[in-house]
Amino acid sequence: MSQNKSQQDAVAWACGTEPPWSSPLLDEHRPGTYHCALCDAALFASDSKFNSGSGWPSFFQTKTDLETQDDHRHGMTRTEIKCPSCYAHLGHVFPDGPPPTGLRYCVNGIVLRFLPDGGETQA
Ligand SMILES: [Zn+2]
């Protein structure tokens, strides 16, 4: 658990990236909502999730407006996405997604928490 937490911190606060194919959310196909794992803001709906083949959970639409910021690291210009509530780094958005938005929100699963529709017991 503590390793998971430090890995989460590295992604959220140091703009880290989890290893591709490491997120259990890649195999999550139930209807529900993806929340920020740090502050619980609802970020993505399951019906906007798609299989991008990138190795990270991917969405073509957000449930709420995210904070965005140009990211020029690694010699590329990308658009970083952040949680609008706690400003945790989530991942990047790319202009090569499927219709209707044409966007691909590429998100680190470790900073997401999935809540299935109908609820899972809270405690
Ligand atoms: Zn958050």
> Rounded to the nearest whole angstrom, what is the distance from the C-alpha of residue 76 to the centroid of ligand 1?
25
87-108 tens-digit pLDDT: 999 999 999 999 999 999 999 9
The pLDDT confidence band at residue 118, using thresholds 50, 70 and 90, is confident
**pLDDT at 119 (0 to 100):** 77
Is omega for the bond preceding 57 within 30 degrees of 0, making it cis? no
- Would you call 106 a catalytic residue per the annotation? yes
Residue 121 has pLDDT above 90, yes or no: no
Mean pLDDT of 25-40: 97
Residue 1 has pLDDT above 70, yes or no: no
pTM of the model: 0.91
Give me 50's structure tokens.
């798609």
The pLDDT confidence band at residue 27, using thresholds 50, 70 and 90, is very high
What domains are there in the chain, each with its CATH number? 2-20+38-116 (2.170.150.20)
12-22 tens-digit pLDDT: 999 999 999 99
Name the average pLDDT for the chain: 94
Q: Which of 15, 36, 83, 106 is catalytic?
A: 106
> Rounded to the nearest whole angstrom, what is the distance from the C-alpha of residue 51 to the centroid of ligand 1?
23
Spacing of C-alpha 10 from chain mean position = 14
> Rounded to the nearest whole angstrom, what is the distance from the C-alpha of residue 112 to the centroid of ligand 1?
9
> Rounded to the nearest whole angstrom, what is the distance from the C-alpha of residue 99 to the centroid of ligand 1?
27
> Rounded to the nearest whole angstrom, what is the distance from the C-alpha of residue 84 to the centroid of ligand 1?
7
d(CA 76, CA 8): 24
